[in-house]
Structure 1
Amino acid sequence: MKQRFAMLVLIALTVGVIGIGNAREPRQVRAEPVAGVFDYYVLSLSWSPTFCLTHQDDVQCSGKGYGFVLHGLWPQYAKGGWPQSCAPRVPLTTAEREKGLTLFPTRKLLEHEWSKHGTCSGLGAVEYLEVADKALGSVEIPAKLQPFSSSHYFEAEEIAQLFRQSNPGIADDGIAVICSGPQLSEVRVCMDKDLSFARCGKGVKGQCRAGEIRVPPVR
């Protein structure tokens, strides 16, 4: 009996030591992002009037009458998350900046998007901007969501459905509507590397309250 008890104690101590050893193992650290290593893109279209509610002094909000503007083209991982600020972080040249400003509403946004997201595309700046231009041109903005002079109200799913009607290739899980409080903030469209409409990966979801949301008028 004593021998059996001693064996049980020995087993318990051994398991405890193994448990302690496992507890001390360092957590797996995610490798540094590598340019060009990603699964798909998210094309983010920002509703400029909502941005301008809280950024009235931004050059984007100086009476230019923007509706949807290009926020960014973001490399994404299918299992969730995204690479960002990939090496080498080469700044834009003057010529590249001029080209970028034909797509993005401000220099500040252009440089931020290139530094954080564009560097992870695996493309040079000119190529990345050309891809962003092509992605932007492949999405038709619904007629009901063109710039207007008074507030409109829609449910988030109505906005998604308007985009699907104007762009039949967009699947139910290929678009996400994002809100800032009670206002429309962004529409995100998922695309594969060939810029065909694609399913969104894990983590790209709508972020709006239930019921109608406000779509502010242009400034």
Structure 2
Amino acid sequence: MVAARRPRLLKGRLVSAGCVLILASVPALANAQAYQCRTPQVSSVPQIAPDGARRDTPVTGYTLALSWSPEFCKPREDSRAHRVQCSGENGRFGFVVHGLWPQSPRGSWPQWCAAQSRLTPAQIREHMCMMPSARLIARQWAKHGSCMTRRPETYLGVTRILWDSLRIPDYDRISREEGLTAGRIRQAFADANGSSWQAFHVGVKLNERGWLQEIRLCYSRRFRPTRCDDARFGARDDVAARIWRGL
């Protein structure tokens, strides 16, 4: 996989008090994997039922969770529910956005807030190359985005700005290194993204067999990279890791 270069976030912050978005005017940014992705038609918005109680807690920061598709899709290539992401019919994916999550003190987070606006099929389709699942987009808005802003287009727009600001290292090459560790995975990401990123800003989630599942990027309330707490930091630097490249 060739390292993907994305334009940096020029200026932007989401102010949790009142959930007001303040963004500088920036040109439309092309998704780095768009050349691999054929956007499917979306005719309806999946219905999402809350799986927990509403929790309206103050927002002190954010997590951008990136899912490693080859590992996610390994047991799901024939799944109708994950057809867009995993069948290969709409392209092959590396990292995709799992979600942008508001954080609260002491490891808590707000969830399932009262949404002021409805998500539309057009909004889902616009972001399917970043988050290749209509149900995932609908769930992330309902569970997390509704606690950040009143409008789904704002939540998805901020998510895209953060996503497009990142550079993804060549994890295909890195996966072939002897003695690969979680620390090497996070350091490679920090090195690829400039001096504002340090390894302790990057969480690494491995599954029980040691394969890479997700990278979790920790942001302050003003969307600056910040030190991950223990829960988001994940695997220690010295833990052995593997990266599934797909077939």
| TM-score, length of structure 2 as denominator length | 0.67
Deviation sequence 1:121-170 (CA, Å, 0-9, x none): 1241001111000111122111x22x57x963520000010011012312
Task: Work out whether residues 88 and 119 of structure 1, in 8 Å CA contact, stay in contact via their aligned partners in 2.
Answer: yes
Task: Work out whether residues 187 and 198 of structure 2, in 8 Å CA contact, stay in contact via their aligned partners in 1.
Answer: no
2:9 maps to: none
2:125 maps to: 98
1:116 is displaced (CA, Å) by 1.2
1:78 is displaced (CA, Å) by 3.4
Q: Secondary structure at the match of 1:140?
A: coil
Task: Work out whether residues 48 and 66 of structure 1, in 8 Å CA contact, stay in contact via their aligned partners in 2.
Answer: yes
Q: Closer, same or farther in 2 for the Cα pair 1:217/1:80, shift >3 Å?
A: same
2:244 maps to: 216
* Match status 1:152 vs 2:170: no
Q: How does 1:107-126 map to 2 (within 5 A)?
A: 107-126=134-153
Q: How does 1:50-89 map to 2 (within 5 A)?
A: 50-56=71-77, 57=79, 58-59=82-83, 60-63=85-88, 64-88=91-115
1:48 maps to: 69
Letter in structure 1 aligned against 2:66? L
1:100 is displaced (CA, Å) by 3.0
1:43 is displaced (CA, Å) by 0.6
Letter in structure 2 aligned against 1:193? R
2:31 maps to: none
2:192 maps to: 166
Structure having the higher helix fraction is 1
Instruction: Return the alpha-carbon distance in structure 2 between the equivalents of residues 89 and 180 of structure 1.
Output: 36
1:94 is displaced (CA, Å) by 2.3
Task: Work out whether residues 59 and 221 of structure 2, in 8 Å CA contact, stay in contact via their aligned partners in 1.
Answer: no
Instruction: Return the alpha-carbon distance in structure 1 between the equivalents of residues 192 and 162 of structure 2.
Output: 15
Instruction: Return the alpha-carbon distance in structure 1 between the equivalents of residues 86 and 129 of structure 2.
Output: 17
1:99 is displaced (CA, Å) by 2.5
Letter in structure 2 aligned against 1:100? H
Letter in structure 1 aligned against 2:221? K
* Match status 1:34 vs 2:56: yes
Q: Closer, same or farther in 2 for the Cα pair 1:201/1:78, shift >3 Å?
A: farther
Which ranges of structure 1 fall in alignment gaps of 5 or more residues? Answer: 1-30
Q: How many residues align?
A: 185
1:209 is displaced (CA, Å) by 9.2
Q: Closer, same or farther in 2 for the Cα pair 1:124/1:86, shift >3 Å?
A: same
1:202 is displaced (CA, Å) by 5.7
Instruction: Return the alpha-carbon distance in structure 2 between the equivalents of residues 54 and 185 of structure 1.
Output: 13
Letter in structure 2 aligned against 1:62? S
RMSD over aligned Cα atoms: 2.5
Which ranges of structure 2 fall in alignment gaps of 5 or more residues? Answer: 1-52
Instruction: Return the alpha-carbon distance in structure 2 between the equivalents of residues 67 and 39 of structure 1.
Output: 30
2:214 maps to: 186
1:32 is displaced (CA, Å) by 5.0
Identity of aligned residues (%): 32
Instruction: Return the alpha-carbon distance in structure 2 between the equivalents of residues 126 and 68 of structure 1.
Output: 22
Task: Work out whether residues 46 and 71 of structure 1, in 8 Å CA contact, stay in contact via their aligned partners in 2.
Answer: yes
Q: Closer, same or farther in 2 for the Cα pair 1:34/1:50, shift >3 Å?
A: same
1:197 is displaced (CA, Å) by 1.3
Give 1 or 2 for the bigger CA radius of gyration.
Answer: 1
